[in-house]
Structure formats: structure tokens, C-alpha cells
Amino acid sequence: MRYLKKRRHLDIDDFEGEDPLTGLANLFDLGLVFIVGLLLMLFSTYHLQDLFSEKSEITIMKKLKNGEIEIITKKARKIKAMRVTKRKAKGKGHRLGVAYKLENGTMVYVPDE
């Protein structure tokens, strides 16, 4: 007989104390978990874990929008960024050797003696 009892209907007044945006906070937490997972996947895909290792040495080369090339090197804890431009170097020096580019694209350096 207890199953045949009349069920009480829920009224809007029962939910007066609850905030309607509580469900949105759960979606925000879910978004944060997704972003962290995406970052971890990108780091493992491009093997960028070495950026956090103190013993690793990494060189990254990237081309900027204006055509300049930026070379980023990391040795131990020191990170250095250099920009390569089309300006010619000036100064005093002496010739070290000759570099040749072969048909297959490889470069060969022959030092002067």
C-alpha cells in the first residue's frame, strides 16, 4: 500500500534557496580539465617535455610574420633568443674556409690550412 500513496508535487517555492548558476560552475571546472589535458597532449606530441628538464639542450627555429627567423636555444637553465636578419655583418676577421652546397642539398665545409 505504501506504493500507492499519492506523491507530493514539487513546487517552485522548494528551490528558493538554490542558485541557478551552480551548474555553470561545474561546466567551468570541466573546461579547465579539458584545457589541461589538451596542453599535456600537445607537450607529449611535440616532445616539449625537454623544456622543463635542467639537463637538456634544445634549439627551436621559427619564422616570424615579417620574414625574420628567430632561433631560441636552451642550455640547462639558460634560454637565449636571437633574430637572424638579412643585414650583412661588418667588422674585422679572417677567412676560415669555404662552404659548398652539393646537388643533393647537403653542405660541406672545407677549412683553410
**Cβ-based neighbours of 4, under 8 Å, separated by 6 or more:** none
Query: Does pLDDT of 13 surpass 80?
Result: no
pLDDT for the residue 5:
61
pLDDT for the residue 84:
85
User: Would you state the cell numbers that stand for residue 112, as one nine-digit string?
Assistant: 683553410
Q: What percent of the chain stands above pLDDT 90?
A: 27
CA angle in degrees (0–180, nearest 5) for 103-105-106? 105
Query: Does pLDDT of 6 surpass 90?
Result: no
- Whole-angstrom distance, CA of residue 35 vs CA of residue 50: 21
Given pLDDT bands bounded at 50, 70 and 90, which one contains residue 11? Answer: low
Does the pTM of the predicted model rise above 0.75?
no
**Cβ-based neighbours of 77, under 8 Å, separated by 6 or more:** 54
- Whole-angstrom distance, CA of residue 29 vs CA of residue 113: 66
